[in-house]
Amino acid sequence: MGLPAAAAAAGPASRALALAIVVLALGHVFSNAVRTLPAVAADVLQRDLGIAADELGAITGIFPLAFAATMVPVGVALDRYGVKPVALVLLAVSTAGAALAAVAPGPLGMALAQAVLGVGCSGMLMCPMTYAGKTLSPARFGLWSGLITTIGNTGMLLSASPLAWLVEASGWRAGYWSAAGFAALAAFLIALIVREAPPPRRDPRHTVWADAREVVALGLSRRLRAPMVLALASFAAVLGVRGLWGGPWLMEVKGMPRIPAGNLLLACTVAMTVGPALAGWVARRSGGRERALLAGGHLAAAGLLVLLLAGGPGGPFGPFPPALDGALLVGFGLAIGSQVLAFPMVRAAVAPEQTGRALSAMNIAYFGGAAALQAISGAAAASGGIGAAIASFVLALVLCTAAFLLLSRRGGGRR
């Protein structure tokens, strides 16, 4: 085949690959929407389920706990069976979980729904990431990891102003029914569009149990230790601020109505959507300063949350106007977007055939940390209010970033 013919063939193939990655990322859109839904419906969820704020924190914390617990088998399945079948199974589970949440009669029913949703959503980011990691060069994977995160974060756009309007008009159960429909649509498109080569034949002596041990071993290895530690607080802060306590802070502490509060959360979510792409662009321009950008972004996010709390009732700066709270939340969303730079760091540290397991190990840290900190923040809210809950994420961000800098300086982030 001559060069012009090869180029012509490469164009459609490249477009098909990009479309497959985008369609797989729809699962991540669903995951972000459904796990941040409580932020604009916390008060009506508490009222209808008959629970207090700390109990809602504990119930929603089941989602990341189930998510993290499922990551080892998901990572093994991605490398062993392929991305497409894993994505379809997980979306079927997710659809069922959203339906369970929509009909939950009380706290036990919602707890079960959160567990099923956590299991179903556990591979929604890893499916497109693994597909991209196995089919793209390391340089193109760095670009696409930011794009996948950006696409997925649009799910939080859906759970801001649009969900606030839906909750006002039809109640929080309608939000979960809408999410179930979206998951079913994503499964249909994946079945229709995604194509992948069969996974390579594996040595029959290499068992599933051996693969599972490798996921754990990769997560504990020196080459991944630094980003794994940072991940413990990184997504926990996103889920805690945007997914749960941001709405109550604006509505209960600052006295905003639901829809205006949803608008500020929408602005924060737009920043979270732009942030990963911006971080990737800055990283490419900075000439390999990912470590500094990761640490700086997380410390900046912590500092912006400190300012948010300082402008609350009784804070040293007095009550900030809502617009300034919104600006601080937007800054937080942009700064925390640097977390996407951890994925190329992990991908570069392992062989291509280990991509699914390594990225899954990373996700265990993301969601294991989120589960633990969600429970801690609920206890903090019960004893010190919503401000104390947000402060728990500030402390975690500072401590984990300091540990990341220490471990990566010692070579914990390299082979």
Expressed in angstroms, the distance from the first to the final Cα of the chain is 40
Give domain status of residue 7, yes or no.
no
Domain residues for 388?
A: 13-195+207-409
C-alpha dihedral over 312, 247, 368, 366, to 10 degrees? -90
Can you give the pLDDT at residue 203? 60
Asked, for residue 258, whether it belongs to a domain, the answer is yes
In 3D space, the residue among 270, 323, 331 whose CA is nearest the CA of residue 301 turns out to be 331
Q: Is residue 285 part of a domain?
A: yes
* Residue with the two structure tokens 């905003």: 256
* 2 domain residue, yes or no: no
Task: Kindly state whether residue 243 falls inside one of the protein's structural domains.
Answer: yes
Mean pLDDT, each 10-residue run in order, the chain (415 residues): 38 78 93 81 86 82 83 81 93 96 93 94 88 77 77 78 81 91 95 83 64 75 87 89 85 87 85 84 78 94 96 84 92 92 81 74 81 86 90 96 87 43
CA distance 203 to 183: 35
Comparing CA positions, the residue from 103, 101, 106 lying closest to residue 118 is 101
pTM above 0.75?
no
Task: Report the pLDDT value the prediction gives residue 200, as an integer from 0 to 100.
Answer: 66
CATH at residue 259: 1.20.1250.20
- Supply the DSSP symbol for 339: G
**Does residue 191 belong to any structural domain of this protein?**
yes
> What phi and psi values does residue 103 have, to the nearest 5 degrees?
-110, 10
pLDDT score at 8 = 39
Decide if 146 is inside a domain: yes
Count of the separate structural domains present in the chain: 1
Per-residue pLDDT, 205: 58
The reply to whether 390 falls in a domain is: yes
pLDDT at 413: 42
pLDDT of residue 84: 93
Q: What is the pLDDT of residue 128?
A: 92
